[in-house]
Amino acid sequence: MLTRDLNKLLSEMSLEEKVGQLLLIGFEGRRPNREVAEFIKEGKVGGVVLLSRNAEEAGEAADLICVLQKLATAGSHALPLFIAVDQEGGSVVRLTEGVTVFPSNMALGATGCSDYALLAAEAVGGELASLGVNMNFAPVLDVNNNPRNPVIGIRSFGEDPELVAEFGKMAIKGYQNRGVATVAKHFPGHGDTAFDSHLTMPRVPYTMERLFQLELVPFQAAIACGVDCIMTAHLAFPAIEANPGLPATLSETVLTGLLRQKMGFDGLIITDCLEMQGVTAAVNPEQAAAMAVGAGADLALISHSLERQRAAHREIMESVRRGFIPLVRIEEAVGKILRLKQRLFTTEQSISSSGRSRQKVEVSRKLGVASAQNSAEENQSLARRIAADSLTLVRNEGGILPLKLQPNEDLLIITFRGRGLTLVEEGGGFVSGLFHSLRKRHLRIEERIVAISPEENEIDQIIRELKERRPGMVILATQDAGLYPGQATVVKRVAAAGFPSVVIALRTPYDLAAFPEVKTFIAAYGFRTTTLEALAGLLWGEFLPLGKLPVSIPGLYPAGYGLEGFD
C-alpha cells in the first residue's frame, strides 16, 4: 500500500520517474504489447485509460487491470497506476458487458430527481471499483444549451447550469462513496459549441460575466464539493486567453489563473487526449504535453500512439532541463498525484488486489457485476427505473398513445443507423434493439434500418413500401435529426402521406424542431437496451410518462415541459 511518507518518496524519485507520473496513456489491443509493457515497467507511466478496444466485458477488464498493475508495481518504487475509463452512461461507455449500463446524463436530468444521479454513480462506482478501475472520466458538467452541439448532447444533464451543478455534485459524491476518483469535464465548458474538439478547435466567444453565470457554475459547485480531478477542453476562450490559437488545455491563464487561482481548485488537472485535432492543429502531442504541464496541468493524456507517449516524456524532461518548466511545477503535480493515489490505494484497494482475477469478480453477462454495496439485480432495477422515469411525452395529439393495435395490424419501425456518430463513442453506440422490445408486445412487427441521413432514392423507396404495406402504425426512431436532414425528410413525408406515426428521439429532443408538424413525439435520451425496453412499456401504456425536458426545444417547448399522462 501507499503508506510511505510521500515527501520522502518524492525526494527519492528521479526526474525521469517524476515525469512518468504525469503521463496517462492508452494502447491498442486486449493486452499491452512488449513495448508498452516495457514503458510501464520503466516507471514512465502514471496511469492507463481503458477504451472499448481494450475490454468491453467486465471479467476481461479485471484480468487486464491485474496485468497492468503488476507491470507498474514491479518497478523500484512500486507505484500503482490510475486505471481510468469513460463510463458516463448513455452513449459513452467503454464497458458494456457484465456491467450495468445506465441511461444518459440527460435522461437523469429529465427525471428531475438528483438522488438518481447519486444512486447511479454509487452503482457504477461500486462495479468499477470491484474490477480495479479507480478513476472515472465523469461526470460531464457541460451545460448543453446549443441544439447543434455535435459531441455533448445527451452527455449533459441539461441546459440549466444550476441543475447541471446539482446533478453533478450528487454524481461526484456517489463515485467517491465507492472509492473511485471523479473527473469533471470539459473545463471551462463544451456545451455551447457547434463543433467537435476531436476534429477542430471550437471557439466559445462569450464574456467572463457570461461564463461565470453559465459555463463555470457546475465546475465551481464541483470544486466546492471536493471533486478529485477536472479535465480540460481543447477550446478557444478569447475572453480568458488572448492568444486565439491557444486552446484552454495549453493556457496558463485558463488552468492556473482561472481554475487554480480564481476558482480555488486544488485537485488534479487532466488534459483531454492530446492527439485530438483541437490541439494538434496548433502543436504536436508531445509539445502539447509539455505546454500543458507548464500551464498547470498535472496529467497529460495521450490515448493512442506509444511513439507520441515516449516523445512526450522526453519533451517534458527536456523542458525541465532547459528551464522552460520549473522543477517545482513537476514536483507540485507529482505530489498531487501521489496524494490521490495514496487515498485510493489505502481506502478501497491494495496494490496487489487493484486488478482482480476473473474468478474473484462476480460477473453475469445478463445481470452485471455485483459490487460490495449492491447486487447486480439491484443495479439493473435502478437503471430500469431511471429509464422509465426519464421518458418524456412531448406530444400526443389525437391520442395515438398508448398504442391500440389489433393483432392483425402491422407495426413498422424505421430506425436511422446511428452507430458511433461521434469519435468519443469509438464507433460503438447504437445497436438496433427497439424491434426486440416491441416484439414482446406485438407479433406483427418489422424494422427498416436506413442510413443516418438517407438520400432521396432511399426515401422514395421507404414511402413506396409504406403505401404497399399500409401498416397500422409507423414508429420512427430518430438520432440528431437536426444534424442529418435526411431524417427530417423521412419523418415529414411519412406524416404527409397520412400514416399514423410516433416519432421517438433516441438522442436529444431537439429533433422535434426539424419536423414541428408531427403529432406524437417522445424524447428518450438514449438508445441502450434499458431505455428501449422502457420505451416499449410506455408505448403500450404500461406506465404513465413522468419525464420533463431538461433542455428547451427552440420555438416550441421550454425546459421543464412534459405531458403527465396520455390525455
pLDDT in tens, 261-281: 999 999 999 999 999 988 888
Q: Is residue 130 within 8 Å of 371, Cβ to Cβ?
A: yes
pLDDT at 411 over 90: yes
pLDDT above 60 for 374: yes
Higher confidence at residue 426 or residue 373?
Answer: 373
**More reliable by pLDDT, 352 or 229:** 229
- The count of residues in the chain is 567
Task: Please provide the average confidence, as pLDDT, over all residues in the chain.
Answer: 91
Architecture in CATH for domain 16-360: Alpha-Beta Barrel (3.20)
Among 114-128, 372-386, 424-438, whose mean pLDDT is lowest?
A: 424-438
Q: Is the pLDDT of residue 426 over 70?
A: no
Return the sign of the alpha-carbon dihedral for residues 150, 151, 154, 159: negative
Is the Cβ–Cβ distance between 94 and 85 less than 8 Å?
Answer: yes
Q: Please state the separation of Cα 424 from the chain's center in Å.
A: 8
Q: What is the pLDDT of residues 268-327, one digit of tens each?
A: 999 999 999 888 888 999 999 999 999 999 999 999 999 999 999 999 999 999 999 999
Strand 520-523 vs strand 392-396: parallel, antiparallel, or unpaired? antiparallel
C-alpha cell of 380?
439493473
Note whether 99 and 153 are within 8 A (CB). Answer: no
Average pLDDT over residues 166-185: 98
Tell me which residues are annotated as active site: 198, 272
Average pLDDT estimate for 469-486: 93
Distance CA 90, CA 112 (A): 17
Cite the DSSP H helix spans in 158-216.
161-177, 208-213
Count other Cβ atoms within 10 Å, centred on residue 352.
13
* Cα distance between residue 190 and residue 252, in whole Å: 19
Domain with CATH 3.40.50.1700 in the chain: 391-539
pTM: 0.93
* Rounded Cα distance, 82 and 345, in Å: 10
Query: Class of the 391-539 domain?
Result: alpha beta
Q: Kindly give the pairing relationship between strand 229-232 and strand 181-187.
A: parallel
107: which 3 cell numbers?
435522461
Nearest alpha-carbon partner for 193 in 246, 141, 146, 142: 146
DSSP SS3 for 57: strand
Reported as a single tens digit per residue, the pLDDT across 216-257 is 999 999 999 999 999 999 888 899 988 988 999 999 999 999
The pLDDT, as a whole number, for residue 358 is 41
Residues 177 and 131: beta-carbon distance below 8 Å: no
Instruction: Write the single-letter amino acid at 245.
Output: G
Of 196-200, 211-215, 258-262, the one with minimum mean pLDDT is 196-200
**Residue 47 near residue 81 (C-beta atoms within 8 A):** yes
Look at 44-53, 364-373, 404-413 and tell me which has the smallest mean pLDDT: 364-373
Phi then psi dihedrals of residue 554, to 5 deg: -50, 130
The pLDDT assigned to 347 comes to 52
pLDDT at 377: 93
CA distances for 353 relative to 121, 125, 128, 180, 340, angstroms: 22, 17, 13, 15, 17
* Strand pairing report for 181-187 and 23-25: unpaired
Is the pLDDT at 427 greater than 60, yes or no?
Answer: no
pLDDT band at 567 (very low <50, low <70, confident <90, very high): confident
Specify the domain boundaries for CATH 3.20.20.300 within the chain: 16-360
> Residue 199: pLDDT above 70?
no
Q: Is the pLDDT of residue 353 over 60?
A: no
First to last CA, the chain: 60
420: Cβ–Cβ under 8 A, 6 or more apart, which residues? 426, 427, 428, 429
SS3 label, residue 500: coil
Say if CB 531 and CB 387 are below 8 A apart. Answer: yes
The span from the CA of 512 to the CA of 270, in Å, is 37
| Cα 185–Cα 190–Cα 196 angle in degrees, nearest 5 | 110
Q: pLDDT, tens digit, for every residue of 512-560?
A: 999 999 999 999 999 999 999 999 999 999 999 999 999 999 999 999 9
Q: What is the pLDDT of residue 422?
A: 58
What is d(CA 85, CA 385) in angstroms, rounded to the nearest whole number? 25
Strand partners, 135: 84, 181
User: Does position 352 have pLDDT exceeding 90, yes or no?
Assistant: no
On the question of pLDDT at 419 being above 90, the answer is no
